Structure 1
């Protein structure tokens, strides 16, 4: 891919990972890696346009039905598609169906843009990730197949150990911190042929040991404030994205983030 290429437009498709949770701005809205990437691309190209159609909690079927057609009609230079993770985290998941939906999404998006970017999303170290690891790895293997078939780019975040460090994850243990999102933006930036500005794979400084009682207290708060409500939404089929609109639904000239959204709401 051409280094330092200029891109005139970018559309982001997906769920909470792409919406930007939990990169919280002072006004209560979320920024995230896609907004950071758009800002950097816009700085290189006057009139750069950006849309972010991602909505927290969306399943692959919803991404396909609600976002893919809209993104394809915009015919941008770059489309990023990240989906299927919320499906894989459900108690019951038909991975064959998820693969089929993802395949249809890629088949519709690839011809509509100059560069389609797919991802292996990062996973926080811990027992939850271990439980769902086989599903996620099955999903990522299929992403690789689709990328070869449709000449798409793949950004592999899953295999990079620093992104599994708990310090790059918010208190809900499902969404990246601002630093995590910054690293993802840099990874996609480099995948698009832009000159590296730093090493997004760099390890973090040695962690300060945390007392056992402090860790247990944190676990209890997490279970009460985040894990319990998340499990109930999985059981009842509800989502924090129900009724929520995309924060940047139109492909318009880029403006700095801080205007969209209505604040945090926990796990997607």
Structure 2
């Protein structure tokens, strides 16, 4: 199915002058001086932490040097109308705004299916990229959306994500995800120099009931010592990581603590869905 895309202008919805097969394909037509957010729906028109996404959009705009004050009810109403018109069922959607035209929103939808149970049960293999941690990481910018494509395109077959290392070799984040390591029974994740993920907010709320949490990144030299690892993003939730740079994590399968976190995450999501 093609991506369903509209411009939300002060006078209403308007068509765009391009077509795309997916959100990834549509990104090439979007400005490189803007900010955005991406998430998905549940039960067609229910959302999770949408206000947190919109809060981050306003904060990202401020960090990018322009003022953005969102009409949240208008965005919610528009998203609902577009989702029902598209007829895709659950969707993954992106809302983008440029510094040049902060009054116009690019709203793009694609059909959404969550990660397969097989992927969750098996876990994924990832790699690292040296000295690749991004500047202004707390801004969810379209400049990074475009820049990360080179790293994504360079991933070998069978690799799920690339983890960005800072200049000192600390594991900061994925291309579009937060990264977590379990070391000595403690959950470790970078507290600075990364995008504050919406899924990360949920993990940090449920995790203290399961294990201690430390807001410090693990180092690349500690990969062979990690007991468990996983990544998170809004559209994927928790994805277990069982190999990094061809080094097996723990027993090479999703670990007990990760499974407990997944269960707690899903329970939190089920209890906090909101209608658009």
TM-score, normalising length: structure 2 = 0.29
Structure with greater helix share of residues? 1
Higher relative contact order (CA 8 A, sep 6+): 1
Q: Which has the higher strand share?
A: 2
TM-score by length of 1: 0.30
